[in-house]
Structure formats: structure tokens, C-alpha cells
Amino acid sequence: MLKLVANNTIVSEYEAVPGRVTSGPHGPKPRRILSRRNIVVYGTLIVVALYYLLPLYVMIMTSLKGMPEIRIGNIFAPPVEITFEPWIKAWAQACTGLNCDGLSRGFWNSVRITVPSVIISIAVASVNGYALANWRFKGADLFFAILIIGAFIPYQVMIYPIVIVLREMGIYGTLTGLIMVHTIFGMPILTLLFRNYFAGLPEELFKAARVDGAGFWTIYFKIMLPMSLPIFVVAMILQVTGIWNDFLFGVVFTRPEYYPMTVQLNNIVNSVQGVKEYNVNMAATLLTGLVPLTIYFISGRLFVRGIAAGAVKG
Amino acid sequence: MTSQTRGSARPNQWLRNLNAKIASIPMILTALVIFVGGTSWTVLYSFTNSKLLPRLSFVGLDQYVRLWAAPRWLISIENLAIYGFFSLIFSLVIGFVLAALMDQKIRFENTFRTIMLYPFALSFIVTGLVWQWLLNPQYGIQSIVRSLGWTNFNFDPLYNSDIVIYGILIAALWQGTGLVMCLMLAGLRGIDEDIWKAARVDGIPMWKTYVLVIIPMMRGVFITTLVIIASGIVKVYDLVVAQTSGGPGIASEVPAKYVYDYMFQAQNLGQGFAASTMMLVTVAIIIVPWAYLEFGGGRKRA
Amino acid sequence: MTSVSVRDLSLNFGAVTVLDRLNLDINHGEFLVLLGSSGCGKSTLLNCIAGLLDVSEGQIFIKDRNVTWEEPKDRGIGMVFQSYALYPQMSVEKNLSFGLQVARVPQAEIDKRVARASEILQIQPLLKRKPAELSGGQRQRVAIGRALVRDVDVFLFDEPLSNLDAKLRSELRVEIKRLHQSLKNTMIYVTHDQIEALTLADRIAVMKGGVIQQLADPMTIYNAPENLFVAGFIGSPSMNFFRGEVAAKDGRSFVQVDGVAFDVSAYPARAGLQPGQKVVLGLRPEHVKIDEAAAGDAAHQAVVDIEEPMGADNLLWLTLAGQSMSVRIAGQRRYKPGTNVRLSFDMGVASIFDAASENRL
């Protein structure tokens, strides 16, 4: 060791200890950015991402072209001449077979359906989930089990009896009726969501509040609600997208003048009269998808949580 | 300190926890009236010859006999079987592979996830219409490929009765695989990091770890996903309406559409009820074994 | 005067009996600890007293008033929970006053009580903070404060220190004891930690299987456990047990264990030992001495297997009569594994249990 020091005076004795010399592997393992693994992983993901993005891209491109350009060009090519005419037409003039005032009518119908449905269904289900989680009573679990199993029954099985019930109540074909239907079919998943969330809160909090003398509603409003904002947002995302995207209930339970946007969109695009205006169709399709897409891009992670919870709804 | 101090009277059993019971009334009504009542009503009336209006005149199994003799129903069932089989296989395989790729500690994970999941935010109507446009033989993918030189290239699923259901399948996979990926990714993230460390120390190759260790550990996630996909398959309706309206001819009919058309357009309620009852049976075939395995079997093991 | 009284209390969840015809009288101002391992029913009993669980049978009295069917808020209790259970969205001050506001106590009175409680617990600087901004010890202090402002006679503690680290736990233990000495309220305290039980309690109720095994002051529980379970549960390391048979010879009594005879003539209840009776002899580690001078019948040879120096004392694991036993040696003298030692026993403080009934003789 002394010799080593003598031969190389710059190297201190400590650094010269055998095994500490700087030959051989040392320090961080070198990583190549273009390793085979990275090429496979990122390559696959990028190809897949392009596949997912393609339809959106084509939709946007088509909606910005004039019909002549569509007839001669290819759907992937960006528009030579950008025009917003199709969007205006889709919103205000497109024909559904019944009338020609575009999607705007359907949009406002959907707003008038979605807003109350979301509020009512969440209010009902959150209180119910809270009762199930914290104030259990005999028989509650049985009804809850029926509710959850019911979530798997195809809607087609229950549609007609509901038509009869709504007709008897005099609200068949109205927005009120449809709002009620959305509240009913939102109940299984929302109740499950809220029940599990409230059951996951520390039980001792609930006990402490009871020792403090708070009752059913005081605990719900003063203790549970302020702690549960994230789950309410999740439920809202779930319901807004679900109800906005609904087609079946809209077409079954409302009269044409109350048709939601999805039904109207389908009627515009698949109407057999007249010349097909693909640019207007794509603009209309984009318009209909805009609300859930906006919610999706804004809410990000919460949306993932919402659909993971709401996936049962299908 | 004896019984004379029994000051507080025991509250009435029905009134105890009254608020919770009031809060549960909507649930109880929905469960009993809509889910139990509505379902039984439909099943009961499927044995009648109701036409425009429901009537309690029983005809035994006539509606079912007629149903299973109807070419349109048989095509619907065949389509559902093909669509169901392939969408189960493809969404599970693609979903898992994508999730495994996303789980490689990659950069831009959020961006990739956002891209793969956004179609799920769109309705089936929107999905169906986009793919109707993309698969349009005159302007869509077929014409693009032909213009590139392959003039004999044929890809017009929506206008070819033999393969129309695969055209719908493509759209459905585009819309739904992102969700499966997310569920699988959540499952993968739920697996103890130490399992990976142990496998690495033992020198087990990554693909082998996935096949032999990780997938068996994710049994629960797979089953849940399977049930979710399967119950969605049975309900498929909007997508077909938007993409093909059941055409060409009746080549892409599905049971849910059959039910709707007979109930609300053909004014043959009995047929609609019988068909919807068959849908219920299909779901029961999927759900009952699952429920038994998840809950019934679990209790026995414990 | 009894403060809390439990009469023939039973609780069943379906077929499972959690509490089994339990009786317990707690004196006014007493600090009673319910001690047992998890699942013994101690927390369940506390929740029944609090009114958070409905009982299946029996009655509960607080200050001679039957409260069996009363709401928790009407029972005159305050409760402190293991997870603190502070309302996360409210400030400390709000947390303390919430119960009083629900009960519509006038604001002036609320302010007075909150001020007093926060002074006692020295949490005045924390009043404006949210629970998330507090340390574990501070949170538990606020949780105690919440019980304090209720101005009640009975405090219920449900494992209040279990979520804290060892150092904080011993600090708060002292504080709770100080609080009890100054307030002189009745306190019922559930724990699985025998150190907490021994240090805090006026009396300890050791529970197992929904039944109270022994109810006595800490020293009695430690020195004269009523049965084999209590003897084994209290003390760390556990009491050494030797299964054997009573024998008599030359006017002396012995317990014969696998060829080794323990002279138990000094056992206080020697008269109750019948020759031939199957018994369990219990010796605490500190009641065994390493005694080089011991000779004759009192002398036992053993080999040191393992040594565990603890600082203040030294724990040896030895083999005697074919089984492992622990011995606590005061001081820092070291023994190498393999060393032969002679032992003597302090039979005056030993415990002998009937092998069949497992009760103390």
C-alpha cells in the first residue's frame, strides 16, 4: 500500500485501498435511453396512443372542411380551407326529421335533464349511503343487496313497467319522469359509492359525534359532508357523464320535443332524408361529446376514480 | 338501584333509528317496486299475448317459441355471442398488456392514460358515429388505403353482412379498453412491491413473473373486470343504433335492440317481454356463478 | 357510592357471545382499567357503557340512574378514542365546542369551559389550528379536552395511547394520571398494555372471552393472580409455569416436576395442597435468584441458554426440569451461554394453580 502511495502521490491512501480504486464498475449504473426495452415499451405505447387519437383527429379535421373538399380529399388530410360553417349549421340549423333548429335544442334539453338528475340522485344516494354505513337497521342490508343485484339487470327488463308507473303518475314523456328514471338507475352505484366511502371514514369520528350529542342530520351535514367533498366530486363526474351520454332512457321516456342531445344527434346523423353532410355530422358529434370530454380533461384523476367506481353501471 | 329506576322507556322498535329509515325509503322503493316488482311484472307478462297494451291473457311459452323461431332473434343472439366472445378476449388481453406497459415506471404516464381513457368519456352514440365515418368505404380507411396503391383493398365492415359485427367490435374496443387498462393498472399497483423485488433477486424473468406470479395474484381484479365487461356486453344497444341501425338488413341486430323495437315500434309487447326475459337469463348465467364464487364459495373457505 | 354499575350485561352478535352476563361496580372517582388482549370484549363493554352499542341483556347504571336505553349524550359521559376522532374540518376550538353547540349551551358558557379545558391541558396556543396541523400527542390532548368541556362525571378512554410512539405514550400516561388526581372523576380506561394498566389503575379488570377474570388493585393482580390466564397475561416476560404433582416428605411440601422437586413449604396457602394433586407452579422471573451458596433441597442446577442484557437488569433464559424458564437478575453482571448456575426460589411470592380448574390454590 505504501508503494502505491509512493508511485502515485496524488491518490490518497484512502482512495488507494484495493477495491476502492476507480477501475471496474463504480457509481451509478449507466443507462441507455434507447435500450431495447425502452424502444418496445414506448414504441408500443405511442402506436397505441395514435390509434386512440385518430378518431378524434379525423372528427376535428372533417368538421372544419367544406363538403367539396371532403368528396375529393382524404379524411386524414388537414383542411385546405378552414370553415366553421359546419359547426354553426350543426348547432342551429341541422334537421332531425321533425324540425330544423339544430342541436341547440337537444343541448338545452340535456342541461335541463342532467342538472336536476345529478343533484337529486346524489342527494338521495349520499344520505342513503350514510344511513347504510352508520345507522344500520334491520333489513337494510337486504334492500341494499337487492339494489346492487338490480344494477346488473338489463334495463330492457324494467323499462316497460316504469313506463306504466310514470303514465299512472302522469309524468310519462316529461322531463320530470326522465329525471326520476335517472335518479332510480343512478341509485345502486351511487349508494354503493357513498356507503363504501362513509364506511371507510373512521368509525370513532361517528361515535365521538354521537357522544357529543349530534343526531342523524347534524352528523350528516356538520361532520360527514365537509369530509366528503372528493367523493361528491367523483359522484358528480360519474353522473354528469353518465346522464349526458344516456340514449336509451332519453328515447324511451321523453317526447320528441324533450329529446336529449344524444338522441337528437343520432336523428340528425342517421336521418335518411337529404344529402349526407359529413362535416356537419362530425361537428354535431363533437359538440355532443364536448361536455363529457371537458369534464374528463379537467377532472383527470378524479374521473379515473369515478369510472372505476362506476364501471359496474357499464 | 333496582328495577324502579328503569326510568327511560324502551323506544318503539319501528321508531328507533327513524331518520335512517326515512333516508332509505327511495332505496327500498326502488329495490322493491322497480327492481323486484318491475322484473317480475315483465317476466309474468312474457307469458301473455300482449300486443299494443299489456293484457293478462296467458299463452304459455308461445312467445318464447316464436322468439326462438324468429331469424332476427337468432341473428341477434349469434351477433351477441361473437361480439361478446371477442370483446371479452380482446379487452382483457389488450387491457392487461397496456397496463403492464404503463406499469414499467414510464415517463408521461398521465398523458398516455389520458389518451387511452378519453374515449370512455364519450357516449356510445358518439363512438358509433365516429366509427361509422371512419369505416365509410367511400371516404374512410378503405379509400385511403386504395389511394395509396392497393386498389384491391377491401375493408367495408359496415356494408358487409358477414363482418358487420366486427366493425362494431372495433368501435367498442376503442371505447372500452382504456377502462380495462385502468382497472388492471390499479390491480397491478395494488401488488406488493416486495414481490417484484423477490422475483428480481431470484432471477425470474419479467414475463414469467407476470404469468406465474402476478396474474394469479390478480384473480379478483380479473373477475371483477370480466363481470363489468360481460354485463356491458349484454346491454349493448346505443352503439349498434348509431353505427349501423342494425343493418345492413338485419345483419347487426342485437337482443337489446330487438326488445326495444318490439316494445315500442312493432307494438308486440309479448315478444319484447319474452326477449327481455331471455336477456335477464343471460345476465343471470354470468352473475350467479360469479356471485357464488365471490360470496358463497368464500364463506365455505373461511 | 357507585358511579357506574353494570348488571348481568350480555351482548350477542348473532350466535357469537361477546359479553357474557357481566357484572361490574365502579366507585365514584375511581380509575378502573379494562385490560385484555384484542377480542376479549373490553372495548365492547366500554361502547355499551357509552351507549354506542345496544346491549342484548342486562342493565347499565350511571350515578344510580338506569341509562340502558339512553342516548350517549344523555348519559353524562365523555369519551376519548384511540384514533383521537377529531373532526378534521374544524379547528381545535370548534372541536372542543361542537358538542356544547349541539346541546345549545350559551356561548358565554361555552367560551368559559373551552378556556378552562385548554388551560388544564395547555393547548391554548393550538386553539385556532386544524387537527391535521397537530402532532399525535397534541391531538390526543385535544381529544381529552373534548371530553373535559362536557363537564361530566365519567370519562371513558378507548385505548387512547395506542397510536402514539413509546416516548409520548409514557409522557401522556403521566399526564392522564395527573389529570385524574386533580379532577377526581370516574375514569374507565381500556387498554391491552399491562404497563398502562398497572401504572394508572386503582383497580384492574382483566378480561377474556367476554368475562372478567379478575377485578382487583394492580398489586394484587400482579402478586396473587386469581387464575392461570391472569398470571400468564400480566408480567413481562411471563411467569414461568411448571406442571407437576404435590408431594409431602418429612413435614415439607414439594411440587415434583419431571424429576425436580420444588420445595413449596414457604407457600402461604400450603395447607390447601393435597399430596398427589396435579398443579401448576408459577414463578415470576424476578422471584428466582442465582445463588452460588444455595445447597441441599433448595439448590437447583441450571444451564444458561441465552442472555438478554436490558441495561438496568439482565434477563437469562435457562433450562430447568426439561423446560425453558426466564430469570431476571438485578444489576449488570453478565453470564456466558453454557454457564452452570445454582438457583433458589422465593416460594413465599410464588403462585400455585390447580391444573384442572386453573384457579389459584
Q: Tell me which chain C residue has its CA closest to the CA of residue A203.
A: C85
Residue A111, all three cell numbers: 342541461
pLDDT of residue C320: 85
For range C276-297, the mean pLDDT: 82
Closest Cα in chain C, distance from residue A234 (Å): 19
Using CA atoms, how far apart are residues A150 and A152, in angstroms rounded to an integer?
A: 5
Residue C192, all three cell numbers: 391491552
Share of chain B above pLDDT 70, in %: 92
Using CA atoms, how far apart are residues C229 and C225, in angstroms rounded to an integer?
A: 8
Band (A85; pLDDT cuts 50, 70, 90): confident
Using CA atoms, how far apart are residues B197 and C131, in angstroms rounded to an integer?
A: 37
Provide the 10 A C-beta neighbour count for residue B32.
Answer: 14
Residues of A with Cβ-Cβ distance to B232 under 8 angstroms: 314
Residue B104 to residues A38, A154, A291, B108, B263, Cα–Cα distance (Å): 9, 38, 33, 11, 50
State yes or no: pLDDT of A7 exceeds 70: no
Mean pLDDT of all residues belonging to chain A = 85
- Write the DSSP assignment of B240-253 as a string of letters: HHHHTTT-STTTT-
Ranges of each domain in chain A: 104-312
Band (A81; pLDDT cuts 50, 70, 90): confident
Tell me whether residues C69 and B1 touch, CB distance under 8 A.
no
> Residue C2's closest CA among A207, B7, B5, A213?
B5
B171 compared with B297, residue with greater pLDDT: B171
For range A161-174, the mean pLDDT: 93
pLDDT of residue C297: 54
Find out whether C51 and C207 touch, Cβ atoms under 8 Å: no
Residues of B with Cβ-Cβ distance to A262 under 8 angstroms: 123, 125-126, 238
Tell me whether residues A211 and C73 touch, CB distance under 8 A.
yes
Tell me whether residues B5 and C65 touch, CB distance under 8 A.
yes
Enumerate chain A positions whose Cβ falls within 8 A of a Cβ in C.
202, 204-205, 207-214, 218, 222-223, 226-227
Tell me whether residues B26 and A183 touch, CB distance under 8 A.
yes
pLDDT of residue B301: 38
Coil, helix or strand at residue C251? coil
Share of chain C above pLDDT 90, in %: 52
Residues 20 to 39 of A: which have CB under 8 A from any B CB?
Answer: 37
Enumerate chain C positions whose Cβ falls within 8 A of a Cβ in B.
2, 5, 59, 61, 64-70
Tell me whether residues A285 and B130 touch, CB distance under 8 A.
yes
> Residue B278's closest CA among B70, B67, B69?
B67
Residue B99, all three cell numbers: 397496463
Chain B interface test: which of A52, A72, A210, A313 (most B C-beta within 10 Å): A52
Residue C227, all three cell numbers: 387464575
Using CA atoms, how far apart are residues B41 and B51, in angstroms rounded to an integer?
A: 16
pLDDT digits (tens, 9 = 90+) for B35-46: 999 999 999 999
In the sheet where C252-257 sits, what is the strand order? C260-263, C252-257, C240-249, C278-283, C351-354
For range B136-159, the mean pLDDT: 83
Find out whether A303 and A236 touch, Cβ atoms under 8 Å: no
- DSSP state at residue C227: B
Closest Cα in chain C, distance from residue A116 (Å): 28
pLDDT of residue A13: 47
State yes or no: pLDDT of A257 exceeds 90: no
pLDDT digits (tens, 9 = 90+) for C309-340: 888 888 999 988 788 899 998 877 888 888 88
Tell me whether residues A207 and C89 touch, CB distance under 8 A.
no
Using CA atoms, how far apart are residues C14 and C29, in angstroms rounded to an integer?
A: 36
Q: Is the peptide bond before B289 cis (omega within 30 degrees of 0)?
A: no
Which are the contacts of B222, defined by CB distance < 8 A and separation ≥ 6?
A: B92, B187, B215
The helix (H) or strand (E) run that includes residue C115 is helix C107-121
State yes or no: pLDDT of B290 exceeds 80: no
Residue C126, all three cell numbers: 393550538
For range B93-118, the mean pLDDT: 90
Mean pLDDT of all residues belonging to chain B = 86
Coil, helix or strand at residue C13? strand
B266 to chain A, any CB pair closer than 8 A? The answer is: no
pLDDT of residue A24: 74
The helix (H) or strand (E) run that includes residue C33 is strand C31-35
State yes or no: pLDDT of A15 exceeds 60: no
For range B167-178, the mean pLDDT: 93
- Write the DSSP assignment of chain B as a string of letters: --GGG--SPPPPTTTTTHHHHHHTHHHHHIIIIIIIIIHHHHHHHTTB---SS----B-TTHHHHHHHH-HHHHHHHHHHHHHHHHHHHHHHHHHHHHHHHHTTT-TTHHHHHHHHHHHHHS-HHHHHHHHHHHT-TTTSHHHHHHHTT-TT----GGG-TTTHHHHHHHHHHHHHHHHHHHHHHHHHHTS-HHHHHHHHHTT--HHHIIIIIIHHHTHHHHHHHHHHHHHHHHT--HHHHHHTTT-STTTT--HHHHHHHHHHTS--HHHHHHHHHHHHHHHHHHHHHHHIIIIIHHHHH-
Find out whether C282 and C241 touch, Cβ atoms under 8 Å: yes
C319 compared with A4, residue with greater pLDDT: C319
Which residue in the block uniquely carries the three cell numbers 315483465?
B42
Q: In sequence order, which ranges of chain A are alpha helices (DSSP H)?
A: 2-7, 36-63, 67-72, 85-92, 104-134, 140-150, 155-169, 175-200, 203-211, 216-218, 225-227, 229-245, 248-253, 261-269, 278-299, 301-310
Tell me whether residues C81 and A212 touch, CB distance under 8 A.
no
ipTM: 0.86
Tell me whether residues C50 and A211 touch, CB distance under 8 A.
yes
pLDDT of residue B6: 43
pLDDT digits (tens, 9 = 90+) for B250-275: 889 999 999 999 999 888 899 999 99
State yes or no: pLDDT of A304 exceeds 80: no
For range B139-145, the mean pLDDT: 84
Residues 74 to 93 of B: which have CB under 8 A from any A CB?
Answer: none
State yes or no: pLDDT of B76 exceeds 50: yes
Strands C154-158, C77-80: pairing kind: parallel
CATH homologous superfamily, domain A104-312: MetI-like (1.10.3720.10)
Q: Is the peptide bond before A256 cis (omega within 30 degrees of 0)?
A: no
> Residue A100's closest CA among A116, A108, A89?
A89
Is the four-CA dihedral C283, C287, C290, C291 of positive or negative sign?
A: negative
Residues of A with Cβ-Cβ distance to B92 under 8 angstroms: none
Residues of C with Cβ-Cβ distance to B11 under 8 angstroms: 69
Closest Cα in chain B, distance from residue A296 (Å): 7
pLDDT of residue A313: 38
Share of chain A above pLDDT 70, in %: 89
Tell me whether residues A157 and B38 touch, CB distance under 8 A.
yes
**Termini Cα distance of chain C:** 32
Using CA atoms, how far apart are residues A169 and C112, in angstroms rounded to an integer?
A: 57
Residue B271 to residues A32, B66, B240, B261, C310, Cα–Cα distance (Å): 65, 8, 20, 10, 84
B300 to chain C, any CB pair closer than 8 A? The answer is: no
Which are the contacts of C2, defined by CB distance < 8 A and separation ≥ 6?
A: B1, C25, C26, C27, C28, C61, C64
Which of C2, C66, C69 is opposite residue B5, by nearest beta carbon? Answer: C66
Is the four-CA dihedral B273, B276, B282, B288 of positive or negative sign?
A: negative
Q: Tell me which chain C residue has its CA closest to the CA of residue B12.
A: C69
A257 compared with B8, residue with greater pLDDT: A257
Q: Tell me which chain C residue has its CA closest to the CA of residue B7.
A: C66
Residue A305, all three cell numbers: 376514480
Tell me whether residues A155 and B235 touch, CB distance under 8 A.
yes
Chain C interface test: which of A203, A204, A212 (most C C-beta within 10 Å): A212
Residues of B with Cβ-Cβ distance to A69 under 8 angstroms: none
Tell me whether residues B8 and C70 touch, CB distance under 8 A.
yes
Residue A237, all three cell numbers: 363526474
State yes or no: pLDDT of A34 exceeds 80: no
pLDDT of residue B297: 52
Share of chain B above pLDDT 90, in %: 41
Chain B interface test: which of C55, C64, C69 (most B C-beta within 10 Å): C69
Using CA atoms, how far apart are residues B150 and B109, in angstroms rounded to an integer?
A: 37
Provide the 10 A C-beta neighbour count for residue A142.
Answer: 11
For range B212-237, the mean pLDDT: 85
Using CA atoms, how far apart are residues B149 and B35, in angstroms rounded to an integer?
A: 57
Which residue in the block uniquely carries the three cell numbers 372495433?
B170
Chain C interface test: which of B2, B8, B17, B299 (most C C-beta within 10 Å): B8
B132 to chain A, any CB pair closer than 8 A? The answer is: yes
Q: Phi and psi for B24 in degrees, rounded to 5?
A: -95, 0
For range B45-65, the mean pLDDT: 88
- DSSP state at residue A78: P
Tell me whether residues A213 and C81 touch, CB distance under 8 A.
no
CA quadruple B239, B242, B247, B248: dihedral, nearest 10 = -110
pLDDT of residue C116: 92
> Residue A68's closest CA among A56, A92, A86?
A86
pLDDT of residue B296: 61
pLDDT of residue C290: 84
Q: Phi and psi for A243 in degrees, rounded to 5?
A: -75, -40
For range B203-220, the mean pLDDT: 86
C61 to chain A, any CB pair closer than 8 A? The answer is: no
The per-type count for chain C, helices as H runs and strands as E runs, is 8, 20
pLDDT digits (tens, 9 = 90+) for C168-209: 899 899 999 999 999 899 999 999 999 999 999 999 999 999
pLDDT of residue B171: 94
State yes or no: pLDDT of A6 exceeds 50: no
Find out whether C42 and C53 touch, Cβ atoms under 8 Å: no
Chain A interface test: which of C44, C67, C82, C87 (most A C-beta within 10 Å): C87
Mean pLDDT of all residues belonging to chain C = 89
Coil, helix or strand at residue C257? strand
Band (A21; pLDDT cuts 50, 70, 90): low
Distance of CA C180 to the CA centre of its chain: 17
For range C248-266, the mean pLDDT: 85
For range C145-168, the mean pLDDT: 90
Closest Cα in chain A, distance from residue C146 (Å): 9
- DSSP state at residue C356: T
Residues of C with Cβ-Cβ distance to A212 under 8 angstroms: 73, 98-99, 102, 146, 150
